[in-house]
Every structure is written in C-alpha cells, then in structure tokens.
Chain A
Amino acid sequence: MIALLTRDLRLALRAGGGFGLGLAFFLILAVLVPLGVGPETQTLARIAPGILWVGALLACLLSLDRIFALDFEDGSLDLLATAPVPLEAVVSIKALAHWITTGLPLVLVSPVLGLLLFLPGESYGWLIVSLLVGTPALSVIGTFGAALTVGLKRGGLLLSLLVLPMYVPTLVFGAEVVSRGAQGLSIGTPLALLAGITAGAVALLPFASALVLRINLR
C-alpha cells in the first residue's frame, strides 16, 4: 500500500509526471479573472468564492485521465490486478495520491489567490476548510470516472462529461460555504452537506471503481 503511494507520488514529481499542471491552471485562472472582469473590488469580491471553487474543480479535472491511463498502457494495471493487493485498495491509494498531488496544493495556494480576487478577509478560513473538506470528493469521484474510461483512447472528453455532473453538488456546497462565510452567515448546513458528500464518496466509490476497473481489464 505504502509502496504504491510512494511510487505514485514519486512518478508525479519526476519529469513528465504532470505534477503542478492543475496548480498552474488554477494560478492562471485566478490571475486572468481580475484582468477579464475588471478591477472593481466589489464585483470581484462577490464572484471570488465561485471562481475559486470552479478553478479548483477544473484543475482537478485536468489531471484525472492520468490516474489509470498510464498504468493501463504500460501493463502495470494488469499486474496490479493480479498482485496480492485488493483492487479496492489500489483505487483508494490512487485517489489519495491524486489528492496529494492535485487537491492539497490547491488548498495551500488558495489563500494567495483569494488575495488576487479580493476575497473578503473573514472568509479565508472557510475557503481553506471548504476546499480541504471538498477536494477529496473531487479526487475520489474523478478516480471513478477514470476507472470507467480506462480502456478508451482519448477518453478525456467522455471522462469530463461523466464526472462533471457528479462534481456539481460539491461545487454548489463548497462555494456556498465560502460565500456565506464572506457575508458572516452561518455555514453549518452547506459545510455538513459538503462533508457528507465527501464521506459518502470516500466510503462507497472505491468499490464501484474497482468493479468497473475489473470489467474494463477483461
């Protein structure tokens, strides 16, 4: 298990591993939005929570097809499926590795980008909390989508179409947490729903992903 995690992290960090792709996309988006929307701080402050969450979501989406495609192409996935580790665990570790290389960096840089978007001061804490709670769901749901499309050449478009609807609840509640935080309202309900989605996805989806992966490997 640990071996698979360290291997995936090492692969992501080495040349051509795609680490930083999502992060760079997130940065570019947050830098370009103020240029496109204009410098009115009030407009920016109002749309900032949504922009940051949409950016995080798209950045996650960008690296999804790499989760299984590379292992499928070089045959590692067949070998892992015959190895003495349950495929459910392989899938969970892959999702965790994706979160560590994509989700976690997004969480860490989000306050800086909030600054660029004039995010109101009181909502920084909630931005970090909501991303921290919500991005694991993005990785787990994305892993499921990647498992569904693993055998397809250039399955990226199909993957996005499959995964985007499943991302919507996370996006809605995540952005809601931040914007309520910015207005000083109570955030209990959206945060609880966001955490509920994440907990449900983490608990159930690895089994579904392992199942479709087995079917796709036939």
Chain B
Amino acid sequence: MGLRVTGVSVARGGVPLLDGVSFALEPGRALVLRGPNGCGKTTLLRVVAGLQPALAGEIDCAPDAIAYAAHADGIKATLSVAENLGFWAAIYGTSGAVAALSRMNLRALAARPAQNLSAGQKRRLGLARLLVTGRPIWVLDEPTVSLDTESVALFADVVRAHLAQGGMALMATHIDLGLPEATLLDLRPNKARLPEPGAGGFDEAFL
C-alpha cells in the first residue's frame, strides 16, 4: 500500500499555493519535492500528513501510515535525550528507542539534557524519532537543515535502509541526498494562480 495523491490543491492562510499536484509513491521509493521558497512545499507536506485539509483533490493512503517530521523537532529542553525519544517510542507503542539512538549516533549523548545539544544534534534527535514510529511513510520537511556533511550521509543511509525495508519517503529538501531510489518532483508548474482581487465576494474577506 503506497501513497497516492491526485489533483491536490493547497492553500496557506487562505492564499492558494499549489494546484493539481499528483504523484504516487510505491514501497521502496522516495520522492523529493523541489521548488523555490514559499512555493508551498511545507503546506503540501502538512496536507499529506493530515494536519490541514486540502482545497481539492484526494490523498489515498493507509490510515496511521505516515510519520511526519517538521521544521520543529518537538524536543523538550529539560528532558534528557533518552527521555525525549523514549516518550515518542511510548506514544507510538514501539521499543526501539535505544537502537534508534545508536543509529543516529546519539548514544553518547543519551543522558544529556536536550537543552545542551547543538542544533545539528537536536536535528538528529528529531530524525531519530522517525525510527521509533515504526511507520512506513516518512513525510520529511527539510530534514537536513543544520546537519553537517557527515550527518547528512548518516541520515541518507538511514533513509536508504528504510526504503530497502519497503518504506517510503516524501521529502522537501534542497540538498541532494544521493538516493538512487528518489524521484524529483518540481512543483513550479503547479503554482496556483492568484484569485482576482475582489472576486471572492464580501464574506471571503472575513474567512
């Protein structure tokens, strides 16, 4: 069971951004979204993750299949690294927290409060959360921000292993992760035309 997106239109703050986006993701494949800043990559990913509704179109995937990783990692500063990850493992009902820590090279930092981590280390902790979700479809928003080249390679390995196990990844990134399984999708042709000013009627102004 993959992910199928057909003719989806999305809007941010009432402004339509993308129109008629269609793609399909099969097990073992990755899709990289490309497009200039502000073109609606994040909004599209939020729509796919189910955080906001699409203006039009259909998103077809198994329920509870998507693990979403946003710009913000959801890390609590006063909890230790292991506690942060253990919480998410408990929420998803899985038990791979220790393995995920060593996979993302965080083993040595396990007992450290998350507030003392560097930006890249926090990012690795945020990405380690994906491993404990145990979900097949990873929806990643700029996963490599603040990672050094070594960590980017480490993360690319993790994604490759996930794909090899039949997982899927949908990501917005400007960095080439060197994934042979990845297809590029340029969102520029899907840019929504702005509605005519004043065409929306009186009520639209208050929505």
A7 with B76: in contact, given A82-B49, A83-B91 (CB under 8 Å)? yes
Interface string of B64-78 (1 = CB under 8 A from A): 101110111111111
Any B CB within 8 A of the CB of A122:
no
Query: Residue among A2, A79, A84 with the most chain B CB within 10 A?
Result: A79
Give the contact-size bracket for chain B: 20 to 34
Total A-B Cβ pairs within 8 A = 68
Query: Given the complex, which residues of B lie within 8 Å of A199, measured CB to CB?
Result: none
Chain A interface, >50% SS class: helix
A11–B51 contact, CB under 8 A?
A: no
Across-interface contacts of A15 in B (CB, < 8 A): 78
In whole Å, how far is A84's beta carbon from the nearest beta carbon of chain B?
A: 6
Q: How extensive is the interface on chain A, given as a class?
A: 20 to 34
Q: Mark B33-65, 1 if CB is under 8 A from A, else 0.
A: 000000000000000011111000000000010
Task: Assess whether B93 is interfacial by the CB under 8 Å rule.
Answer: yes
Q: In the complex, what residues of A have CB within 8 A of residue B50's CB?
A: 82
Q: How far is the CB of B72 from chain A (nearest CB, A)?
A: 3
A7-B76, A11-B79 are contacts. A78–B51 as well, Cβ < 8 Å?
Answer: yes
Distance of A85 Cα from B77 Cα, bound (Å): 23
By beta carbon, the residue of chain A nearest B114 is A74
- Binding site secondary structure of chain B: loop
CB-based contact B72/A10 at 8 Å: no
Whole-angstrom distance between the alpha carbons of A82 and B48 in the complex?
A: 11
> Which A1-44 residues sit within 8 Å CB-CB of chain B?
2-4, 7, 10-11, 14-17
B76: which A residues are within 8 A, CB to CB? 7, 11, 74, 76
Instruction: Give chain B nearest CB distance to A45 CB in angstroms.
Output: 43
The answer to whether B92 has its CB under 8 Å from any CB of chain A is: yes
User: What 20 new A-B contacts, CB under 8 Å, besides A14-B79, A74-B77, A217-B51?
Assistant: A3-B90, A4-B87, A7-B79, A7-B83, A7-B87, A10-B79, A11-B79, A75-B70, A75-B72, A78-B74, A79-B68, A79-B70, A79-B129, A82-B68, A83-B88, A83-B92, A84-B91, A85-B91, A218-B52, A218-B53
Provide a sorted-by-A list of 21 A–B residue pairs whose CB atoms are within 8 angstroms. Answer: A3-B87, A4-B91, A7-B76, A11-B76, A11-B79, A14-B79, A15-B78, A73-B72, A74-B72, A74-B73, A75-B71, A75-B72, A75-B74, A76-B76, A78-B72, A79-B68, A81-B51, A82-B49, A84-B64, A84-B92, A218-B51
Residues in chain A within 8 A of chain B (CB atoms) = 2-4, 7, 10-11, 14-17, 71, 73-76, 78-85, 217-218
